Structures are given as C-alpha cells and as structure tokens.
Chains A and B, each alone.
Chain A
Amino acid sequence: MTETGDDWAHMLRAANRGDTAAYAAFLAVLAPVLRGIVRARAGGIDAALREDIVQEVLLTVHLKRHTWAEDRPVRPWVYAITRYKIVDALRRNGRDINLPVEDFADILPAEAEPDPFATRDTDRMLNLLDDRSRNILRAVAYEGTKLADLGPRFNLSEGAARVALHRALGKLDALRRGGR
C-alpha cells in the first residue's frame, strides 16, 4: 500500500504555496495512516483515547509544519512527531514503552470506526477556550464557514479573522499541553 512519501511531499509543498485543497487532501490521507500506527502501537488504550492521539498528532503536524524542510521526505518527519505523541500519551497512562520508529512505515492505515465517534479531548479543550476562539473554531469545523465569511460574522476583517483562527488553534494546542 505504500504510496511513496513523494506524494506527501508534493501535497505539502503545494499546501505551502497556499493550495488549501492539497493540504486538506494531505491531512485526509494522513489521518488513517496515523490511526493505523496508533492502533498498532497503543492498542491497549481504548479507541476514543486513541483517536484523541490521532487528533493531537494532526494538530501538531499542522502547527509545526514549518519545521518540515521541502527538500526532505515527509514520512520520517511525521513519524517522529507521531512517536513522540504516542510515547507521551502512554506515559500519561502510566506505561513506559520502547517504540522503534523504523517500524512505522510497515503499518497499514486504518479507517475510522464505522460510527465515527466524536473525541472527548478536543471538545473538552474547546470548552476551556475563550468565547470568541471557541465560536470561531466551531463555526469553521461544524458549519463549514469559510474564512471570508468569518469576518462579517465576528466583526473582523478577513486578515484579522485569519489571525484569530490561527491563534485559536494555537490556544487549543497550549490547553492540550497544559491541561495534563
């Protein structure tokens, strides 16, 4: 099943040039791969918590994507972040583990469970956010509001809405890290 990492690099490079569709496509192929890795390596944890880890990796990949250099393969970069997050999660659950990152490439991707559950973690963090950040994130995630429409709705210019969305994601990530 191995798509070569080159497809990923291609998509991410396009994303870096402002191609949102390529970026969404990249995240969409990444998610099942992450799910497979997390299931294989943190199988002892229940499914909802595993999906939390998947979301955490996605958020980190997103917020740290400037640390991927365009001339390097994407997979080792993604795997390193994934490994770090799994180890972190397992440690929080009182386990200490040894995860050779070399094995990650051989793991098959996994689809979301038939009835895709909402994960608890992200929603818990959402509730801890300030009102505006939470409302912006909800509007985009649940109602599919476009950036251009966010502005009028929250009384912001488009540029300010973009910054607000970015900051809100950063706050979400900070809450995840601080909340444990």
Chain B
Amino acid sequence: MKTEDLIALLAADTRPRRAVFPQILLGTFGPILVLGSIFLMVLGIRPDLMSAVTSSMAVWKWLLPGLLAAAGIGLAIALSRPESRPRKAWWVILIVAAFGAALFVGRAVILPPTDMMAAIRGQTLLICLASILTIGLTGLVGGIAFLRRGATTRPGLSGLALGLGSGGAAALLYALHCNEDDPMFFVTWYGSAIMAVGLIGAISGKRLLRM
C-alpha cells in the first residue's frame, strides 16, 4: 500500500475520539472501590477508627498509601502522553518510600530486639497481604485495559506507576479495617503488597502497553 493510500484511509476514519484520562481514572479506582467496599463489608471497619486516625502512628497508614495512590495514578496518566517526562510524581513516590522506611527504622531503634519479630509479624499478616493484593490487582487490570488506549513510550514504567497507585489505593481502603498500628507491621506488609502489585504492573505493562 502506498503511503498516500494509507493517508486516504486514515482520513476516512472519522470516528470521534474520547478523552482517555477520565477512563483510566475510573477503570482503576472503580474496581478498587467496589471490591474494597465488599471486603470492608465482610471484614468490618475497625470500631475505633476515629481515635486511630488521630493517634500519631496509625495516621500514616492512610497518608502514605493515599499519597502513593494519587502519585501513581497521576504518573500513569501523565505517561500515557508520549511526549511527557513527568518527574515530580516520581519524587512523591520516592519520598513516600523513604518516609515508610524511616518510620520502620524509628520503631526498630526503640523496640527491644526480642520484640521486633513479633511486631513485624503482627496478628493479621495473611488477610492483610491477601486483601491488598486482591483489591490492588483488580485496579491494575481495570487501569491497564484503559491505559492501552493511551500512548506511552515507557510501557514498563507506566505499568509500575499504575500498579503502585492501585496497591496504594487498596491499602488505603484495607487500613479502614486493619487494627495493627505498629509501623513495623504496616510498613513491612502494606509495603510488600503494594510493591508486588507494582511489580506485576511493570511486567504486564511491558507486554500490554506497547504502542
């Protein structure tokens, strides 16, 4: 086919385009909200939520994942424009990670070594990991489906950002149930689950988001 014939072909396709950014947002957070609400209905919201939010340590269970959710999804959307080189959102993600690590270390230095393993292990490790992973992955799947309509030139990074954002949003919701307020617990396990969703995002993004 000659290039001029191809141009005639493309010009004949007059189907209107829809903006992709709202779709990505909805595709990611929609499933997370739906599945997250179901999980919360089954598991229950912690009764002492109000006092927990105001107690010094637990508040980071919402702040850090919340920041990560906003930065991750913002980054994934920005990257869906081929020419964009977003930097600020990466800094937010790095700062969240550094802050999480600092919370962990801050606890580690004051806790007697004998109590450390118990603090990390907590009581609800399995349900915590399973919930954040499951909720986060539905967001990742929904988000990638719409991110494919974008035009990223960094498919792996786009997937990573979307995964971290989905994982963060899932952790934010799960934290409404979870009553483990020791940073050693939530930094370790929220962090691991979020990073796992991020990693799965990066791998699937590299395959599925190529232009």
- Name A's B-contacting residues (CB within 8 A): 16, 18, 20, 23-24, 27-28, 31, 51, 54-55, 58-60, 62, 64-69, 72, 76-77, 79-81, 83-85, 112, 116-119, 122-123, 126, 137, 140-142, 144, 146-147, 162-163, 165-166, 169, 177
Contact = CB atoms under 8 A, between A and B. Distances in A.
Contact of B15 (A69, A140, A162): A162
Contacts, number: 114
A76 B4 CA distance: 24
B3 A31 contact: yes
Given A66-B20, A81-B82, A144 B210 contact: no
A24 B3 CA distance: 12
B81 interface: yes
Nearest to B19: A66
Contacts of A68: 81
B211 A64 contact: yes
Mostly helix, strand, loop or mixed at chain A's interface?
Answer: helix
Most A CB contacts (10 A, CB to CB) among B5, B80, B150 go to B5
Contacts of A112: 2-4
A163 B15 contact: yes
B110 to A, nearest CB: 49
Given A16-B17, A84-B211, A122 B6 contact: yes
A80 B13 CA distance: 23
Interface in B58-90: 80-83
Most A CB contacts (10 A, CB to CB) among B4, B14, B151 go to B151
Contacts of B117: none
Given A51-B3, A66-B17, A66-B19, A140 B12 contact: yes
